[in-house]
A = this chain, B = another copy of it.
Amino acid sequence: SLVLGAPRSFLNTSTLDVAVRWLEGAPDYNSGTTFGLPWPRGKFNANTTTFTGTAGSEKIQLQSWVTGYWPDGSVKWSGHAIPASQTIAEEYTITASGSDNLTVLFEKRQSAGIATDSGDGIVVDTGKISVTFPKSGSVLVSSIQTSGGKTVGQSGRLILRTQSDIIDYEDNSVNQTSIEHLEFQGVINQTTISEDSSTRALVTVSGTHQTEAGAGAWLPFTVRFYLYASSDAIKIVHNIVYDKNSSDTFVTGIGIKFDVPLAEEELYNRHVRLAGVDGGFFNEAVQGITGLRRDPGQEVSTAQVEGEETPDISTWATTVSSRTQWIPAWNDFRLTQLSPDGFNLQKRTKVGQSWVKIPGGTRSDGLAYLGGATAGGLAVGLRDFWKKYPTSLDISNAATDTGSITVWLYSPSAGPLDLRPFHDGLGESGNYTKQLDALEITYEDYEEGYNTPYGISKYSELFLYAFDTTPSSDTLATLTAHTNQPPVLFAEPDYIHSTKAIGSYWAPPDNSTAAAATIESNLNFLLSYYQQQVEQRRWYGFWDFGDFMHTYDVDRHTWRYDIGGYAWDNSELSPDLFWWNYFLRSGRADVYRFAEAQLRHVAETDVYHLGHMKGLGTRHGVQHWGDSAKQVRISTPIYRKIFWHLSGGDERVGELVREVLDVGEVWNVIDARRKVHTAGVNYVPDPTAVWISLGIDWSGIAIAWLIEWERRGPRWEESRERIFESMRTIANLTNGFVTGEALYNTYTGAISPPPTDPENLGEVTVAHLSASFGMLETISQLLDHLGPDDVPTGFLEAWLDYCYYYGASSVEQTARYGVSFGNLNLKQGHSRLTAWAANHLGNETLAQRAWNEFYNTDGLSLKTVWETEKVSGSKVLIPVDEASWLAANDAALYGLAGLENLALVGSALGDN
Q: A355-B418, A360-B339, A876-B280 are in contact. Are A292 and B538 (CB under 8 A)?
A: no
A476 to B301, CA, bound (A): 52
A419 to B356, CA, bound (A): 10
Asked if A868 CB lies within 8 Å of chain B CBs, one says no
A304-336 interface code vs B (CB 8 A; 1 in, 0 out): 110000000000000110010111101010001
Contacts of A290 in B (CB 8 A): 553-556
Asked if A15 CB lies within 8 Å of chain B CBs, one says no
Query: Is the beta-carbon distance between B181 and A176 smaller than 8 angstroms?
Result: yes
Q: Which residue of B is nearest A285, CB measured?
A: B556
Query: Is the beta-carbon distance between A877 and B352 smaller than 8 angstroms?
Result: no
Asked if A442 CB lies within 8 Å of chain B CBs, one says yes
Q: Which residue of B is nearest A551, CB measured?
A: B291
Contacts of A536 in B (CB 8 A): 359
The 8 Å CB contact of A292, one of B173, B325, B420, B563, is: B563
Query: Is the beta-carbon distance between B878 and A361 smaller than 8 angstroms?
Result: yes
Stretch at the interface among A106-114, A421-429, A774-782, A850-858: A421-429
Asked if A486 CB lies within 8 Å of chain B CBs, one says no
Q: Which of A164-183 contact B (CB under 8 A)?
A: 167-171, 173, 176-177, 180-181, 183
A277-289 interface code vs B (CB 8 A; 1 in, 0 out): 1011111100010
Q: Which of A469-490 contact B (CB under 8 A)?
A: 472-474, 476-477
Query: Is the beta-carbon distance between B877 and A280 smaller than 8 angstroms?
Result: yes
A555 to B297, CA, bound (A): 12
Nearest-neighbour CB distance to chain B for A595, whole angstroms, equals: 22
The 8 Å CB contact of A281, one of B167, B441, B473, B877, is: B877
A530 to B158, CA, bound (A): 44
Nearest-neighbour CB distance to chain B for A336, whole angstroms, equals: 8
Nearest-neighbour CB distance to chain B for A502, whole angstroms, equals: 35
Chain A binding surface SS class: loop
A538 to B555, CA, bound (A): 37
A538 to B342, CA, bound (A): 11
Asked if A823 CB lies within 8 Å of chain B CBs, one says no
A424-453 interface code vs B (CB 8 A; 1 in, 0 out): 101110000010011111110000000000
- Chain A contact residue count (CB 8 A cutoff): 123
A97 to B386, CA, bound (A): 64
Contacts of A415 in B (CB 8 A): 413
Asked if A845 CB lies within 8 Å of chain B CBs, one says no
Contacts of A873 in B (CB 8 A): 279-280, 474, 477
Query: Is the beta-carbon distance between B291 and A560 smaller than 8 angstroms?
Result: yes
Asked if A826 CB lies within 8 Å of chain B CBs, one says no
The 8 Å CB contact of A426, one of B325, B330, B344, is: B325
The 8 Å CB contact of A440, one of B293, B351, B397, B476, is: B293
Nearest-neighbour CB distance to chain B for A248, whole angstroms, equals: 14
Query: Is the beta-carbon distance between A348 and B440 smaller than 8 angstroms?
Result: no
A339 to B359, CA, bound (A): 10
Contacts of A558 in B (CB 8 A): 359
Contacts of A354 in B (CB 8 A): 246, 418-422, 623
Q: Which of A561-580 contact B (CB under 8 A)?
A: 561-563, 565-566
Query: Is the beta-carbon distance between A877 and B328 smaller than 8 angstroms?
Result: no
Asked if A294 CB lies within 8 Å of chain B CBs, one says yes
Contacts of A362 in B (CB 8 A): 341-342, 362, 878
Query: Is the beta-carbon distance between B348 and A344 smaller than 8 angstroms?
Result: no
Query: Is the beta-carbon distance between B877 and A361 smaller than 8 angstroms?
Result: yes
Contacts of A422 in B (CB 8 A): 328, 348-349, 353-356
A83 to B274, CA, bound (A): 53
Query: Is the beta-carbon distance between A283 and B441 smaller than 8 angstroms?
Result: no
Query: Is the beta-carbon distance between A544 and B357 smaller than 8 angstroms?
Result: yes
Nearest-neighbour CB distance to chain B for A357, whole angstroms, equals: 6
A279 to B874, CA, bound (A): 6
Contacts of A423 in B (CB 8 A): 328, 349-350, 353
Asked if A343 CB lies within 8 Å of chain B CBs, one says yes
Q: A170-B332, A356-B562, A359-B538 are in contact. Are A288 and B556 (CB under 8 A)?
A: yes
Contacts of A551 in B (CB 8 A): 291
Asked if A755 CB lies within 8 Å of chain B CBs, one says no
The 8 Å CB contact of A561, one of B356, B412, B623, is: B356
Q: Which residue of B is nearest A350, CB measured?
A: B424
Nearest-neighbour CB distance to chain B for A279, whole angstroms, equals: 6
Query: Is the beta-carbon distance between B173 and A169 smaller than 8 angstroms?
Result: no
Q: Which of A516-547 contact B (CB under 8 A)?
A: 536-539, 541, 544
Contacts of A292 in B (CB 8 A): 441-443, 563
Asked if A674 CB lies within 8 Å of chain B CBs, one says no
Query: Is the beta-carbon distance between A353 and B421 smaller than 8 angstroms?
Result: yes
A99-137 interface code vs B (CB 8 A; 1 in, 0 out): 000000000000000000000000000000000000000
| Residue among A180, A348, A356, A427 with most chain B CB within 10 A | A356
Asked if A513 CB lies within 8 Å of chain B CBs, one says no
Q: A305-B556, A338-B339, A359-B877 are in contact. Are A320 and B280 (CB under 8 A)?
A: no
Asked if A260 CB lies within 8 Å of chain B CBs, one says no
Query: Is the beta-carbon distance between B879 and A280 smaller than 8 angstroms?
Result: yes
Asked if A904 CB lies within 8 Å of chain B CBs, one says no
A551 to B293, CA, bound (A): 10
Contacts of A168 in B (CB 8 A): 351-352
Asked if A898 CB lies within 8 Å of chain B CBs, one says no
Contacts of A347 in B (CB 8 A): 562
Contacts of A437 in B (CB 8 A): 323, 326
The 8 Å CB contact of A352, one of B420, B438, B440, B476, is: B420
Contacts of A350 in B (CB 8 A): 423-424
Q: Which residue of B is nearest A538, CB measured?
A: B359
Contacts of A340 in B (CB 8 A): 342, 360
Asked if A345 CB lies within 8 Å of chain B CBs, one says yes
Nearest-neighbour CB distance to chain B for A452, whole angstroms, equals: 12
Q: Which residue of B is nearest A172, CB measured?
A: B351
Contacts of A477 in B (CB 8 A): 873-874
Asked if A622 CB lies within 8 Å of chain B CBs, one says yes
The 8 Å CB contact of A361, one of B181, B183, B293, B341, is: B341
Residue contacts A-B, CB under 8 angstroms, 24 given: A161-B169, A171-B351, A276-B876, A280-B877, A281-B875, A284-B556, A291-B563, A291-B566, A293-B439, A293-B441, A301-B555, A305-B555, A326-B437, A330-B562, A339-B341, A341-B341, A341-B343, A353-B420, A353-B423, A353-B424, A357-B544, A357-B561, A361-B538, A477-B873
Known pairs A292-B443, A353-B420 / 20 extra A-B pairs, C-beta < 8 Å: A161-B169, A167-B181, A169-B183, A169-B412, A177-B181, A246-B354, A276-B876, A305-B555, A305-B556, A319-B441, A326-B426, A326-B441, A327-B441, A341-B362, A354-B421, A356-B622, A357-B561, A362-B362, A413-B415, A474-B873
9 closest Cβ pairs, A-B complex = A341-B342, A291-B553, A339-B342, A342-B342, A276-B877, A473-B874, A326-B438, A290-B555, A171-B351
**Interface residues, chain A, with chain B CB atoms under 8 Å away:** 161, 167-171, 173, 176-177, 180-181, 183, 246, 274, 276-277, 279-284, 288, 290-294, 301-302, 304-305, 319-320, 323, 325-328, 330, 332, 336, 338-345, 347-362, 396-397, 412-413, 415, 418-424, 426-428, 434, 437-443, 472-474, 476-477, 536-539, 541, 544, 551-556, 558, 560-563, 565-566, 622-623, 872-879
